[in-house]
A = this chain, B = another copy of it.
Amino acid sequence: MKDCEWCNLSDEDKKYMLFQTEAWEIFLADKQDYIGRCILVCKRHVKSLYDLSAREWMDLKNVIDKLEQGLAAAFGATMFNWSCLMNDFYKSDNPNPHLHLHVRPRYKNPVIMDDKVFLDEEFAHHYNPKKAFKIHEADFQKIYLLLKNHISD
């Protein structure tokens, strides 16, 4: 769709794409408040889960399976918080939502990368939607490469 930013992502926007399937593009999320957090973007401009075709829905299951396995293997994720929210689009007077999902891996144990330790302080509780978190670009790239290397073909 011409006037949808999500339908017209630039190469720069797609820099941290982890993989793609027939119907989905999967990106490491800019916000790494939960290490390995990803966004799954539907390639077609649909506004809700209802609008997905059976084929897109089955393809989504393959994506979920790859991510749950990859995130467990790469970072030792204990379990996963999945969501499909879309709230931000509705701040507009003329909402033009583009379907996407979020996965936040959750960690019982600390995630250790080189000399850095990342804690999931809210483990076993609802994720904190307003968690303050900063990450160095170098660490972001490490997370991206580690996860990419653990996603099966």
The verdict on A78 contacting chain B, using a C-beta distance below 8 Å, is yes
Contact: B123 with A126, CB < 8 Å?
A: no
The verdict on A65 contacting chain B, using a C-beta distance below 8 Å, is yes
Contact: A64 with B49, CB < 8 Å?
A: yes
CB distance from A151 to the nearest CB of B (A): 14
The verdict on A80 contacting chain B, using a C-beta distance below 8 Å, is yes
Residue-wise, chain A 36-58 has the 8 Å CB interface mask toward B (1 for contact) of 00000000000111101010011
Contact: B90 with A85, CB < 8 Å?
A: no
Complex interface: chain B residues within 8 A of A86 (CB): 79, 81
Contact: A124 with B90, CB < 8 Å?
A: yes
| A83 and B61 alpha carbons, distance in the complex (Å) | 15
Interface residues of chain A: helix, strand, loop or mixed (majority)? mixed
Q: Which of A52, A85, A97 has the most CB of B within 10 A?
A: A85
Please give me the residue from chain B that is nearest to A130 by CB atom: B126
CB distance from A102 to the nearest CB of B (A): 9
Contact: A126 with B85, CB < 8 Å?
A: yes
CB distance from A73 to the nearest CB of B (A): 12
Known pairs A57-B61, A61-B54, A61-B57; A82 contacts B126 (CB<8 A): no
Please give me the residue from chain B that is nearest to A124 by CB atom: B90
Closest 5 CB pairs of A and B: A90-B124, A82-B84, A50-B68, A126-B129, A83-B83
